[in-house]
């Protein structure tokens, strides 16, 4: 078991491989998404028990709308069901639910359940569970730039005062810490437009294990590897 002082404060996960997991077993793609929910529950609970500060999950990208209408509709129904079913998990683990992304574009019934879950958990004291929904890293930077430019135009902000910290305040993730560890399942080794600004100094950990198969033991592997790394943030270790 990884020592607490070696644990990352913020873990971000690209949950990849649901469709391939299903196809290899002769199932429809949607079966992989259903099984993936079990991994979400297990990993969320495990992170909360380890007192991880924040867990951010890449749940639905803004590119995912390009998938078939049938699959997108299924994912939205599954998201609604997840939000209702996992309220107990959130309560039992004192989790605070938050979101990032253009959530206004989600179906009304999903937004309703999302609002209820966030309102119910807002005064909890445990781990932050952040769902990236209709999210894209480039879109986040563009949206932040537009808001920042509008404030400059209104005279609320001067160009000379803009730095990393100021820009961060305009991001979806304002007020959140940057990820310390980024995990991607499913065998691909790319970031896929996820938290482009925020993962600048994150440690990256890739595994060929598909998301529906990703369990506590795999999380422990990632954490053990993270604990061995020296984080320099651009500096030198003497």
Is 155 domain-assigned? no
Q: Answer yes or no: is 49 within a domain.
A: yes
Whether 165 maps to a domain, the answer reads: no
What CATH number did the domain enclosing 202 receive?
A: 3.40.1180.10
Domain that includes residue 94, residue range = 4-136+179-226
Q: Please give the pLDDT value at position 98.
A: 98
Any domain includes 162: no
- Concatenate the DSSP letters of all residues of 21-50 into one string: HHHTTT--HHHHHHHHHHHHHHHHHHHHHT
Report yes or no: 110 and 76 within 8 Å, Cβ to Cβ.
Answer: yes
What's the rounded Cα separation, in Å, for the pair 115 and 131? 13
- Total domains in the chain come to 1
Q: Could you give the residue numbers annotated as active site?
A: 16, 64
Q: Return the structure tokens found at 180.
A: 């310390």
Is 125 contained in some domain? yes
Other C-beta atoms lying within 10 Å of the C-beta of residue 206: 17
Distance CA 173, CA 159 (A): 22
* Global pTM value: 0.94
Q: Is residue 143 part of a domain?
A: no
**What are the C-alpha distances in Å from 226 to residues 11, 62, 118, 139, 205?**
11, 29, 30, 29, 8
Residue 163 belongs to a domain: no
Region label for 133, one of left (φ > 0), alpha (ψ between -120 and 50) or beta (otherwise):
beta
Per-residue pLDDT in tens (0 to 9) along the chain, 238 residues: 556 669 999 999 999 999 999 999 999 999 999 999 999 999 999 999 999 999 999 999 999 999 999 999 999 999 999 999 999 999 999 999 999 999 999 999 999 999 999 999 999 999 999 999 999 999 999 999 999 999 999 999 999 999 999 999 999 999 999 999 999 999 999 999 999 999 999 999 999 999 999 999 999 999 999 999 987 766 655 5
- Position 138 scores a pLDDT of 98
Look at residue 108 in the predicted model and tell me its pLDDT: 98
Query: Quick one: pLDDT at residue 230?
Result: 84
């Amino acid at each position: 078991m990884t020592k607490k002082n070696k644990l990352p404060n913020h873990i971000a996960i690209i949950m990849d491989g649901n469709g391939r997991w299903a196809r290899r077993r002769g199932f429809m793609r949607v079966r992989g998404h259903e099984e993936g929910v079990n991994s979400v529950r297990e990993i969320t609970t495990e992170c909360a028990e380890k007192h991880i500060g924040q867990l951010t999950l890449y749940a639905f990208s803004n590119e995912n709308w390009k998938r078939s209408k049938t699959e997108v509709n299924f994912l939205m129904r599954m998201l609604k069901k997840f939000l209702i079913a996992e309220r107990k998990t959130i309560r039992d683990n004192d989790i605070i639910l938050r979101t990032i992304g253009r959530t206004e574009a989600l179906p009304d019934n999903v937004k309703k359940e999302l609002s209820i879950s966030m309102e119910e958990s807002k005064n909890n004291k445990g781990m932050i569970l952040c769902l990236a929904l209709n999210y894209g890293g480039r879109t986040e930077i563009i949206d932040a730039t537009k808001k920042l430019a509008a404030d400059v135009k209104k005279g609320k902000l001067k160009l000379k005062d803009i730095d990393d910290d100021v820009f961060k305040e305009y991001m979806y993730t304002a007020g959140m810490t940057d990820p310390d560890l980024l995990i991607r399942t499913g065998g691909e080794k790319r970031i896929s437009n996820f938290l482009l600004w925020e993962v600048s100094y994150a440690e990256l950990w890739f595994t060929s294990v598909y998301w529906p198969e990703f369990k506590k033991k795999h999380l422990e592997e990632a954490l053990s590897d993270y604990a061995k790394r020296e984080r320099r943030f651009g500096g030198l270790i003497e």
